[in-house]
Amino acid sequence: MSNFLVRRLVSSIPVLFGILLVTFVLNRSIPGDPCRAVLGERATAAICDAYMERYGLNEPIPVQFVYYLRNVLQGDLGTSLRFGRTVTELLAERLPVTIELAICALFVAVIAGIPLGILSAYRRNSAVDVSTMLFANVGVSMPVFWLGLMLAYFFGVILKDTVFALPPSGRLTAGANPTPFFIAWGVIDDPRQASNLLLFLSRFNILNAILTLNVNLFLDAARHLLLPAVAVGTIPLAIVARMTRSSLLDALGQDYTRTARAKGLRELAVVVRHAVRNSLLPVVTIIGLSFGGLVSGAVLTETIFGFSGIGRTLVDGITARDYTLVQGVTLVTAVTFVVINLIVDILYGYLDPRIRLS
Amino acid sequence: MFQRKLLLVFTLLTVLAMGMALPVAGQDMATSVECGADGYVGNLQSIEVLDDMTVKFTLCNPDPAFGSKAAFNAFPIQSSEYLESTGGGGDLVRSPIGTGPYRLQNWDLGNEMVLTRFDDYWGEPAREETVILRWNSEAAARLVELQAGNIDGMAGVGTGDFEVVEADPNLTLIPGAITNVFYLGLNNTKPPLDNVMVRQAIAHALDRQRIVDNFYPEGSVVATQFMPPVLFGYTDEVEPLEFNVELANQMLDEAGFPRGDNGVRFELPLNYRDVVRVYLPTPGIVGADIQAQLAEVGIQLNIEQMESGAFLDASDAGELSVYLLGWGMDYPDATNFLDFHFGGGASDQFGTKFDEIIGPLNVGAQSGDVDVRYQAYIEANTALRDLVPMVPVAHGTSGDAWNARVDGAYAAAVGTTKFALMEDTEDDNIIYMQNAEPISLYCADETDGETFRACGQISESLLDYEPETGEVVPALATSWEVNDDATEWTFTLREGVMFHDGTTLDAGDVYNSYMAWWDASSPYHVGRDGNFTYFSAFFGGFLNAPATE
């Protein structure tokens, strides 16, 4: 297993280098420089000259890349041109927002998608199957932007003042001001002295609520997560449902299923213990890929629901020609993909021992 | 060079003598520089503290708008003690201590900012105890939040949502002041635009009313001059060139540009950037309409969209022929509009500069006499109309939306809206959702409106703008005197003004705040990233600015 892990990690280095190089070159190929994008249209030529010099942007691009690579290898992702803060600090602050949303969306997708897929396969060609697959097709083709706005309007405005009302945007109710767990535990008095790791962990509202045993915070965070999780989770849900259905249909036609039935097992046991378990392998792949997609593709959802995650940050970075921020977000997203793929590969081994042996 | 070195040595010796401490009122506080010497291009000649409550600014060249500039959000007066303890950056940027009606309680980065009433505020105390600022970049999402009742007010109603807000009895639409201009730039070095009759014909051929009616939100108006009507420098006496297609055709014929077989007289590129601004809410559509209108008189415009930064650079360099651009006010004076675009120091965006425009603009910019200035602007606006370096098209408006139960809701004519003047009649806070998160709370080193809105509740400048009219009014200074040629400005400070940390305002705070911005070699010239863009833009440059390659 350790050999496998090392091999996979080493093989990901050229991938990450390639991503860094391509992002770096593409960033600088866009017309316009960051000075006016960041400092506004009132920035004079003298201000812009000083600005470009301060951030080393007047150096030849290959020289800039070498400097950047050297800093990345030392764990320094640079300073954001727009925010004037380190990219690491911004990522520690904003990555949890996206990861929390992605986990919740995936939870929605798996919890609803797999049962729907199983039901659809088990009742193949029935009204249930047709309606489930119709729902899945609509879900796949639904624009997230539109769905998000409709959900926000329906649950925020139409159902306003009812028990079904949900907050249309934001991560918490205005003024909630949650206490980070490290403050509640008395580890640190001033949040500004917290390390990036503590800051990173405390930004998961659900986790922070659990660690501080704050039920109100937990419920508030969960209520605020529900609509964006549904909006961003609809497409993976539909894909998971379709994949589960087709995979299970395949498994139900296999010899071992027929053997299980011949042994006299109850139909439920045949489906759940034999067919479903074997049909989950491709579904796990899809779930893994979906999670990576959710992390990198939460741009629209974060925009609509006012989440300051890395999707939104990436857009801000691109708009402001914030090279270091865009490169940092891209690198972290790429690393997330690599790690998730690695986890999926490891899970394969447990779900199908033949893969681990080979 | 000798004087610059002398000043550096003097500054260093002073700093060393005081152990890097900032001077306090009572100590000798005066800094001056020789105008134009050793590459100094700024307009600020000296700052001196005359007594504990009096500060004098001397300028190299007259600037009747200095008071307007001093009222701007980008020049918030800081406590000397806090400036010193933060080193001009760090906590000063994230946790400022101002003199405003609200102080920062908590900034949950990425989520919200909470401000609480400052009970020792020198003026009328804030009506609400708490202000919560939130943000969402989508106007539609902000409106949903407002309709859901989760917020009390929102910035920037979407162009298509004005009617929705007006139709909702629970909401109030507050139109913003019209302090911008959208224009069609015409570069007089690009044939055939070097012919003034062609430029005049283009002005006659444009139906500006049609553009405003079709593509601007309610409340926007046709631009008859470059200056918006509400600002000093707009002159009723100057009539615009009328919309007259027949006359435009006739002028183009006379100018020697007959229609070809395909009906086209000549072709020109029409450049624009796809960036939404209040002065131009739908750039692509407006560009297409202008293209269609000028096609009626035989001018074929070929639309070319450009990246924003490249577009601005190209227009500044005088590389574009016909283009869509605009300007939003920084401070309420003609110099902010006219001198910036058409004065002697303006860029080459309209081609060769006109002496007929520069002359009166210089008169207007160098006199403290309102009547003299007004006459000069009549002359300048007349020349602008006749020489047509651009065609002013529209003054756009934006709108804030508020819950109807909020009492005192308004949109500032100039500067930032002050939440201290409002009250939510049903609870004890104002929750306002704006377009983006403030970048920092040290506005001396910022340039965006979202940041200024937050800073404007916490910190104050020497002067302020009257909320409804935009007139310059006292703030931290109770009065100011200016000499006849507007080169010497003396401010008398308000007694008993307290900072949020309990320290009291004096002339030393003003001196040290301005020195931190002005002197690029100061150890307190730090900020968020040390650009101090507005100071440089308004006052021409920094003292001891490092040479760039």
**pLDDT of B80-114, one tens digit each?**
999 999 999 989 999 999 999 999 999 998 899 99
DSSP structure class, residue B184? E
At residue A355 the predicted structure's pLDDT band, cuts being 50, 70 and 90, is: low
Cβ–Cβ under 8 Å, residues B93 and B476: no
User: What six digits make up the tokens of A3?
Assistant: 């050999």
**pLDDT of B207-247, one tens digit each?**
999 999 999 988 899 999 999 998 999 999 999 999 999 99
If you average pLDDT over every residue of chain A, what do you get? 87
**pLDDT of B237-259, one tens digit each?**
999 999 999 999 999 999 999 99
Residue A285 is predicted with a pLDDT of: 82
Please judge whether A54 and B529 are an interchain contact, meaning their C-beta atoms are less than 8 angstroms apart: yes
**Helix axes A215-252 and A127-141, enclosed angle (nearest 10):** 120
Residue A297 is predicted with a pLDDT of: 64
Residue B16 is predicted with a pLDDT of: 46
- Residues B22-41, mean pLDDT to the nearest whole number: 82
Report the number of secondary-structure helices (H) and strands (E) in chain B: 18, 22
Helix, strand, coil percentages (3-state) for chain B, rounded to 5, are 30, 25, 45
Residue B48: partners with Cβ closer than 8 Å, 6 or more residues away: B29, B30, B31, B32, B55, B56, B58, B511
Query: Does A140 score more than 90 pLDDT?
Result: no
Residue A161: partners with Cβ closer than 8 Å, 6 or more residues away: none
Question: B347 in contact with A at a CB cutoff of 8 Å?
Answer: no
At residue B549 the predicted structure's pLDDT band, cuts being 50, 70 and 90, is: very low
Out of A53, A167, A303, closest to residue B137 by CB: A303
Question: Which of residues A89 and A11 earns the better pLDDT score?
Answer: A89
Q: How far apart are CA B522 and CA B535, in angstroms?
A: 15
Cβ–Cβ under 8 Å, residues B435 and B156: yes
* β-sheet with B266-273: strand ranges across: B221-222, B390-395, B180-186, B322-328, B266-273, B299-306
User: What six digits make up the tokens of B474?
Assistant: 């006292």
State the smallest CA–CA distance between residue B207 and chain A in angstroms. 29
Compute CA distances A300 → A307, A323, B103, B155, whole Å: 10, 21, 34, 20
Q: Looking at A52-56, A126-130, A231-235, which range is the least confident one? A: A52-56
Query: Does B415 score more than 90 pLDDT?
Result: no
Among A143-157, A302-316, B239-253, the range of highest mean pLDDT:
B239-253
By CA distance, what is A30's nearest residue in B?
B307
Query: Does B452 score more than 70 pLDDT?
Result: yes
**pLDDT of B275-300, one tens digit each?**
888 999 999 999 999 999 999 999 99
Residue B548 is predicted with a pLDDT of: 57
By CA distance, what is B429's nearest residue in A?
A175
Please judge whether B330 and A51 are an interchain contact, meaning their C-beta atoms are less than 8 angstroms apart: no
Q: How far apart are CA B478 and CA B495, in angstroms?
A: 9
Residue A356 is predicted with a pLDDT of: 57
Helix extents (H) in chain A: 2-29, 34-39, 45-54, 61-73, 87-122, 127-141, 144-153, 181-184, 196-202, 205-211, 215-252, 255-262, 267-269, 277-296, 299-304, 310-319, 323-351, 353-357
Question: Which of residues B28 and B222 earns the better pLDDT score?
Answer: B222
Residue B8 is predicted with a pLDDT of: 46
Question: B312 in contact with A at a CB cutoff of 8 Å?
Answer: yes
- Residues A296-306, mean pLDDT to the nearest whole number: 82
Report helix, strand or coil for A10.
helix
**For residue B140, which residues of chain A lie inside 8 Å, CB to CB?**
149
Out of B114, B141, B151, closest to residue A304 by CB: B141
Question: B136 in contact with A at a CB cutoff of 8 Å?
Answer: yes
Query: Does B151 score more than 70 pLDDT?
Result: yes
Least Cα distance to B100 among B519, B506, B549, B460 occurs for B460
Largest CA distance in chain A: 85
B residues 91-130 lying closer than 8 A (beta carbon) to A: 93-94, 106, 108-112, 114, 130
B residues 525-544 lying closer than 8 A (beta carbon) to A: 528-531, 533-534, 536-537, 541
What's the pTM? Answer: 0.87
Give DSSP secondary structure letters for B49-115: EEETTEEEEEESS--TTHHHHHTSTT-----HHHHHHHTTSTHHHHS---SSSEEEEEEETTTEEEE
Residue B26 is predicted with a pLDDT of: 58
Query: Does B12 score more than 50 pLDDT?
Result: no
Residue A291 is predicted with a pLDDT of: 81
Beta bridge partners of B498: B504
Q: How far apart are CA B111 and CA A288, in angstroms?
A: 29
Cβ–Cβ under 8 Å, residues A30 and A321: yes
Q: How far apart are CA A208 and CA A180, in angstroms?
A: 7
- Residues A37-55, mean pLDDT to the nearest whole number: 81
At residue B362 the predicted structure's pLDDT band, cuts being 50, 70 and 90, is: very high
A residues 200-239 lying closer than 8 A (beta carbon) to B: 203
Q: How far apart are CA B440 and CA B247, in angstroms?
A: 53
- Chain centroid to CA B428: how far? 32
Beta bridge partners of B130: B116, B429
By CA distance, what is A43's nearest residue in B?
B533
State the smallest CA–CA distance between residue B62 and chain A in angstroms. 21
User: What six digits make up the tokens of A88?
Assistant: 């690491």
A residues 278-297 lying closer than 8 A (beta carbon) to B: none
**pLDDT of A192-222, one tens digit each?**
788 889 999 999 999 999 999 999 999 999 9
User: What six digits make up the tokens of B457?
Assistant: 């509740």
Query: Does A1 score more than 70 pLDDT?
Result: no
Query: Does B5 score more than 60 pLDDT?
Result: no
**For residue B546, which residues of chain A lie inside 8 Å, CB to CB?**
50
Please judge whether B307 and A30 are an interchain contact, meaning their C-beta atoms are less than 8 angstroms apart: yes
Out of A34, A43, A153, closest to residue B533 by CB: A43
Question: Which of residues B494 and A143 earns the better pLDDT score?
Answer: B494
Sign of the torsion angle spanned by Cα atoms B203, B337, B227, B175: positive
Residue B2 is predicted with a pLDDT of: 46
Compute CA distances B94 → A85, B109, B546, whole Å: 11, 10, 27
**For residue B529, which residues of chain A lie inside 8 Å, CB to CB?**
54, 84
Cβ–Cβ under 8 Å, residues B527 and B444: yes
- Residues B22-46, mean pLDDT to the nearest whole number: 84
Q: Looking at A41-50, B98-107, B360-369, B491-500, which range is the least confident one? A: A41-50
Q: Looking at A27-31, B139-143, B320-324, which range is the least confident one? A: A27-31
The complex scores an ipTM of 0.85
Residue A271 is predicted with a pLDDT of: 86
- Residues A114-142, mean pLDDT to the nearest whole number: 88
Residue B9 is predicted with a pLDDT of: 47
Question: Which of residues A294 and B127 earns the better pLDDT score?
Answer: B127
If you average pLDDT over every residue of chain B, what do you get? 91
Query: Does B422 score more than 80 pLDDT?
Result: yes
- Residues B523-536, mean pLDDT to the nearest whole number: 90
